[in-house]
Each structure stands twice: as C-alpha cells, then as structure tokens.
C-alpha cells in the first residue's frame, strides 16, 4: 500500500480554470484528454490564508497480492 497527502482546493474560493497550451505541454497532456472536464484552482481568501488550499486529502494505492508479485518481493528482499 502506498499513500500520499495532497492539498485540497479551498471550497470557499475555488474557481473554474482553463489551463494554457503551454501548461498542458509542460505536463505532457493533450487538450483532447480533458474531454470537457472542469478544472479548478483556489483564488485565495481569508479562510485559506490566501493560499488557495485548505486541508489535505489522502490518495491511496493498493496492489492486490498474487503469487508472482509475492515472489518478486521475496527476490527483492533477498537482495538486501
């Protein structure tokens, strides 16, 4: 299991956002992949201390264990 905490956009000041072509190029994302999905960013307000973020959200990843993955882990542990 892996986890990461990411900042949450402030609900009080969030606004819809359209990234520029340069921003999409920088993260190697084609505009067609957005398929009309809405993106948001925090503008900044007194509730978030003008950061645009308020709180954090956990993102979790779980790998279902199979014999082949278990075997790989054992091999990697033996190398340590």
pTM of the model: 0.67
Residue the block writes with tokens 């949450």: 8
Strand, helix or coil at 21?
helix
Q: Where are the domains of the chain?
A: 2-79
Q: What CA–CA distance (Å, rounded) separates 1 from 3?
A: 7
Cβ-Cβ contacts under 8 Å for 48 (sequence gap 6 or more): 10, 12, 13, 42, 54
Q: What CA–CA distance (Å, rounded) separates 30 from 36?
A: 12
Q: What is the pLDDT of residues 9-44, one digit of tens each?
A: 999 999 999 999 999 999 999 988 988 899 999 999
- HSE-up (13 A, CA, CB side) for residue 76: 6
What mean pLDDT is predicted for residues 71-76? 90
């Amino acid at each position: 299991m892996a986890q990461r905490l990411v900042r949450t956009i402030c609900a009080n000041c969030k606004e819809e956002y359209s990234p520029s072509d340069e921003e999409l190029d920088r993260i190697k994302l084609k505009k067609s992949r957005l398929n009309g999905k809405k993106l948001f960013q925090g503008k900044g307000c007194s509730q978030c201390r003008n950061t645009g973020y308020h709180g954090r959200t956990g993102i979790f990843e779980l790998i279902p264990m199979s014999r082949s993955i278990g075997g790989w882990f054992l091999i990697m542990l033996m190398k340590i």
